[in-house]
Structure 1
Amino acid sequence: MSRAVVTGGLGGAASWVVSSLARQGWDVRSIDFRRPSDPGAGPANVDFRAADLTDQGQTWELISSFDPDYVIHFAAYPNPLGHGGAHVYENNTISTYNVLSGAGSVGADVVWASSETVYGTVFAEPSFLPDYFPIDVDHPLRPEDPYGTSKVSGEEIAKMVTRRHGVKVASIRPSWINYPGNYDATTIRENFDFEKASLEEDFGITFHNAAGNFFSYVDIRDVVSLVERAMEVDFEGHEPFMAVAKENLLGVDTAEAVEATYGELPPEVDLEGDQSAIDYKNAREVLDWAPEHSWQEAEDEQVDGPSFV
């Protein structure tokens, strides 16, 4: 039986990864800062462990004793809000170093959650436009916040681990993750107004974050499928992959929505209709992956999530 360690396994995104791998027969060790209130509610082939991943000893012990084929690292503070910036950066960077280096030391390949925030536009004050649309993995990284910067640091750690240990590492950069039947993006779509959509207006942090990723999003099931595809395909060293839906979350012309919000567009725009402003080209070319889910159906879908969260 194949074995995988999943960090942050009780979190919103990683719990879906744990559940999917367990259904496929993987032997999974989930490591989070706590265990489920009822560990017996989870699948029999999932071992729930609690640990502080900023502690190298705990992290390496739980990885090496399990001897996994794969490590999927999703544990992190998910944004720069709610904690001091230095603490967000320290927690995310040190835990990523401990997990990825621990994986490399036992010869395990890695998939880990980087972020679209590496481009800097989501949490910047004020937000700014990229050099071109659609944004791809070759676009310069310009974070202005501790969270996005921690993800850039994590990708450098990933490259180091591939060089030192010869394992492969996939850095998944998810767009705004939404969950079937409970799409947070719905509120943005239902209230978007071309005449009022301006960053100069105070519509709240959710709108500004959505405008900062240019109204892109991704369904959690597509995040899971991209993680699993990155595990299946052989590639060399480190590769970043965007996890994003094919279209924007608004159902309107993407370039027109961005121009209404920002008052201008970057000099190079190659978008058609509601095409996502973020391109998953590298995932398409390296992994033969494409997203399958859209807000049009997913907003009202009833899909059972993980039972152990």
Structure 2
Amino acid sequence: MRNEANSTKLGINRVAQASSVNVITLVYSQEPHFDFFPIDESHPCLPDEPYGLSKVISELQAESIVRRFPTMRVASLRLHWSVPNRAFAQKLEVSRAKNDLWGYVQEDSAAESFLLAVTRPTDKWPSAAEAFFIVAPEITVDSPDTSELLQEHWPNVSIKEGKAMSGRAGFFDCSKAKELLGWEHNSTSA
């Protein structure tokens, strides 16, 4: 915490750190488990492997830092697979992408999330340390569509009320990032 102490003395009180969608059980897990779709920040974080665990620990550290340094604000950005564009992400076989929930984030959109996390007002944040999913709103594949993938691979996972899982809709809900950071995925070069 020495770096944070020195930072606050210099008037630096904003941190954006790279977390990962792997805080929940995803690609590195023995068997991913999902409580609901689309996944948002309220989903339990129960990793069974070192990478996901390290990201959960970094988010816990953020909570500790803001308790110690009350003027500090920390955004943990739960990034998905960062790629140049959707076409690049489509190179992964549909069956291999299952444990990633066919997700990705474009590099430019990921970079923008860091800028927004350290420049946007934090007065509406529920706490001084917040996590945000940073994922494209659409899946990497055109066919099968989201509802077909859901029925084939995750038929027993419930869908959150008021949410649609059809077309190319992604399995992640990034509305918190939009509301509190002003972040939206740039799909123009997708």
Same fold (TM over 0.5): yes
- The residue number in structure 2 matching 1:168 is 73
- The residue number in structure 2 matching 1:111 is 16
* Shift in alpha-carbon separation, 1:105–1:182, aligned structure 2, 3 A: farther
The one of 215, 220, 223 aligned to 2:110: 223
Q: Which amino acid aligns with 2:7?
A: V
* CA positional deviation for 1:134: 0.4
- Any gaps of 5 or more consecutive residues in structure 2? none
CA distance in 2, matches of 1:177, 1:279: 17
* CA positional deviation for 1:242: 1.0
- Relative to the length of structure 2, the TM-score reads 0.84
- The residue number in structure 2 matching 1:258 is 150
* CA positional deviation for 1:121: 2.4
Aligned-residue identity in percent: 28
- Any gaps of 5 or more consecutive residues in structure 1? 1-97, 198-206, 299-309
Q: Is the 8 A contact 2:16 2:77 kept in 1?
A: yes
CA distance in 2, matches of 1:263, 1:284: 27
* CA positional deviation for 1:159: 0.7
Aligned length: 177
User: Does 1:177 pair with 2:71?
Assistant: no
CA distance in 1, matches of 2:77, 2:53: 15
- The residue number in structure 2 matching 1:155 is 59
Q: Which runs of 4+ in 1 moved over 6 A?
A: none
Structure with the greater alpha carbon radius of gyration: 1
> RMSD of aligned C-alpha atoms?
2.0
User: Does 1:138 pair with 2:42?
Assistant: yes
Q: Is the 8 A contact 1:221 1:293 kept in 2?
A: no
* CA positional deviation for 1:122: 2.1
Secondary structure in 2 matching 1:229 = helix
Q: Which amino acid aligns with 1:172?
A: L
Structure with greater contact order relative to length (CA < 8 Å, sep ≥ 6)? 2
* Shift in alpha-carbon separation, 1:120–1:232, aligned structure 2, 3 A: same
Please give the per-residue CA displacement for 1:28-54, whole angstroms capped at 9, x wherever unaligned.
xxxxxxxxxxxxxxxxxxxxxxxxxxx
- The residue number in structure 2 matching 1:243 is 134
Please give the per-residue CA displacement for 1:129-149, whole angstroms capped at 9, x wherever unaligned.
x11110001111010100100
Please give the per-residue CA displacement for 1:239-265, whole angstroms capped at 9, x wherever unaligned.
1111111101012421312332x2624
CA distance in 1, matches of 2:69, 2:110: 26
User: Does 1:289 pair with 2:183?
Assistant: yes
Q: Is the 8 A contact 1:211 1:258 kept in 2?
A: no
- The residue number in structure 2 matching 1:102 is 3
> For 1:1-309, what aligned pairs fall within 5 Å after superposition?
102-107=3-8, 108=12, 109-128=14-33, 130-166=34-70, 167-180=72-85, 183=88, 185-188=89-92, 191-192=93-94, 197=95, 207=96, 210-235=97-122, 237-252=128-143, 253-260=145-152, 262=153, 264-268=155-159, 270=163, 271-293=165-187, 297-298=189-190
- Relative to the length of structure 1, the TM-score reads 0.53
CA distance in 1, matches of 2:5, 2:44: 27
* CA positional deviation for 1:177: 0.8
Q: Is the 8 A contact 1:131 1:268 kept in 2?
A: no
Secondary structure in 2 matching 1:106 = helix
CA distance in 2, matches of 1:164, 1:153: 16
* CA positional deviation for 1:219: 0.2
Please give the per-residue CA displacement for 1:117-171, whole angstroms capped at 9, x wherever unaligned.
001122111233x111100011110101001001001000001111111200000
